[in-house]
A and B are shown apart, each in its own frame.
Chain A
């Protein structure tokens, strides 16, 4: 029997989707190691405790609630100290968190503080007795590496949206936990949070991504991509490196080897030739649509549905067609 600790990530008073995925993975690991408990840290500004029942739904037995006004933004040092103190006080087989902006920062901090092994960005975790193995896409998703992780607690950060969260409902016990260090006294202070485009999901969470490349010819034509995303209604907008390097879009929107790696249900590549660096960021998408004027473009080698044509004509027509199709629902 072994317990698993989870960092249930939030931003403001919203739980992030990866929190449910992390709890779900932890539930499976606890069950596989003889039926231990899942303990989830829920840290945020006052009011975050209301999200405890969501974690119970995915299989958390205990929710450790830490509320503080300074937790409205990411208090990396305090959260790392809290998780490390908890892991030292109680024995855990593993600590599960997301490989997200927060989790990729926290994971290595915990590894160093606990002198514990860490596996990052995993898409599969298996535990059998003392052996814990993970699968991790490396070399920018071009090679899948199987790693054996020796020692406890094993710190495992999971790739967002790669592992489906399954429900395992229970009523979680809620306990209050004191911060390991004062969240307001960090050596790294968040002075401002700049929100991105409103009303659009993030690339990591969106079931549909519409991405634009240099085939759009000019920055003002990017509105065609935005309009198509709006027609789908639940779509995020991405871009190629060529486009972010030109300053048409912020670097945070870049999909590819050095940018974001995404796996939506539907990926629509607009005016994207499909350089190998771009493919590394999106080739695991479930369905790929490509619109490009060059029928030899490498994007058509991976596109389930390719249309050869001028994006400035095809995309507005597709936008209207998607709007019509949505109306029919």
Chain B
């Protein structure tokens, strides 16, 4: 089975963000970047599938400037076989523009399965995977928390609000990966050494026109400082009174 995993390099989620001087981007000074969490679950899912099948190929794809090569190497150190960088000066906020570049690359790749994270931490939009599926005319299942592939057919579990649906789909397909499906492995020293010799191909990204553009960024308003109203069960009458009279939620 041939699996592509589209991954993204995003800022460390623990960062305390500041807005850059332009007002239209985060200040990247001192911010650490790594493979996006959801993308790392997708890589892990692909590697486990290949291991279970005993054969196959896992290809990782990332769009962006040369710093995404580090993210692609990390995926190869986890076990991916080769990597493709779709080179662009920056990754636009416009998910469809990115999907067009990915679909152009994946179209002739002969993949049985294309995996994405359900969304990326930075844009938090969840557009690219599904839009890529539509452009490839592949069936698509989004935000799956369980996935099995057998006999050319996939089954997946997808969380809904207060429920879950089990779905069945034909291959080739695009699947976007939710949390809880697999814990991403750490690259071994051997894996890191091997990754240095694995092929990483770089080619220009055929981005679509950018029609969703950042006008500005701001930090959300701060909450008022927290307040401890008391200790132990003795504080409960005061809490109930505040919930009734001040917060008016009881």
List residues of chain A with CB under 8 Å of any chain B CB: 11, 16, 73-74, 76-77, 80, 100-102, 104-105, 107-109, 111-113, 115-121, 133, 136-151, 187-197, 200-205, 207-208, 232, 244, 251-252, 254, 257-259, 265-266, 276-277, 280, 283-284, 286-290, 295, 299-310, 313-314, 317-318, 321-322, 325-326
Contact = CB atoms under 8 A, between A and B. Distances in A.
A295 B131 CA distance: 47
B37 to A, nearest CB: 6
A299 B227 CA distance: 10
Specify the main secondary structure of chain B where it touches its partner. mixed
A179 B223 CA distance: 47
Given A202-B162, A287-B249, A140 B124 contact: yes
B214 A309 contact: no
B215 A147 contact: yes
A325 B244 contact: yes
A145 B179 contact: no
Contact of B236 (A76, A284, A314): A314
Contacts of A111: 95-96, 127, 131
30 contacts: A77-B139, A80-B134, A104-B142, A108-B96, A111-B95, A113-B134, A118-B131, A139-B17, A142-B220, A143-B19, A144-B218, A144-B219, A145-B217, A150-B213, A188-B167, A192-B166, A252-B164, A258-B37, A266-B247, A276-B14, A277-B13, A277-B14, A303-B228, A304-B247, A306-B226, A306-B227, A307-B239, A310-B232, A314-B236, A318-B240
Contact of B211 (A107, A151, A187): A151
Given A112-B131, A251-B145, A277-B13, A305 B160 contact: no
Contacts of B158: 101
A255 B94 CA distance: 27
A279 to B, nearest CB: 9
Q: Majority SS of interface residues in chain A?
A: mixed
A286 B250 CA distance: 13
A257 B13 CA distance: 8
Contact of A190 (B19, B166, B217, B231): B166
A318 B231 contact: no
Contact of B242 (A104, A107, A283, A305): A305
A95 B211 CA distance: 16
A112 B140 CA distance: 13
B17 A143 contact: yes
B69 to A, nearest CB: 23
Contact of B212 (A109, A149, A203): A149
A115 B135 CA distance: 10
A147 B93 CA distance: 9
A258 B38 contact: yes
A203 B160 CA distance: 11
Interface residues of B, number: 85
A160 B94 CA distance: 22
Contacts of A317: 233, 236
B91 interface: no
Contact of A118 (B160, B212, B249): B212
A266 to B, nearest CB: 4
Contacts of B53: none
A112 B138 CA distance: 12
Nearest to B235: A307
Given A108-B127, A189-B169, A308-B232, A196 B247 contact: no
B165 A73 contact: yes
A205 B160 CA distance: 13
A2 B246 CA distance: 44
Interface in B153-206: 155, 157-170, 178-180
Given A138-B122, A244-B180, A107 B127 contact: yes
A174 B65 CA distance: 51
Nearest to B158: A101
Contacts of A326: 250
A230 B58 CA distance: 48
Given A257-B121, A288-B223, 6 more contacts: A76-B140, A112-B131, A145-B214, A145-B217, A251-B179, A305-B239
- Between A146, A151, A325, the greatest number of chain B beta carbons within 10 A of the residue's beta carbon is seen for A146
B211 A150 contact: yes
A85 B247 CA distance: 47
Contact of B168 (A191, A203, A251): A191
B114 interface: no
B67 interface: no
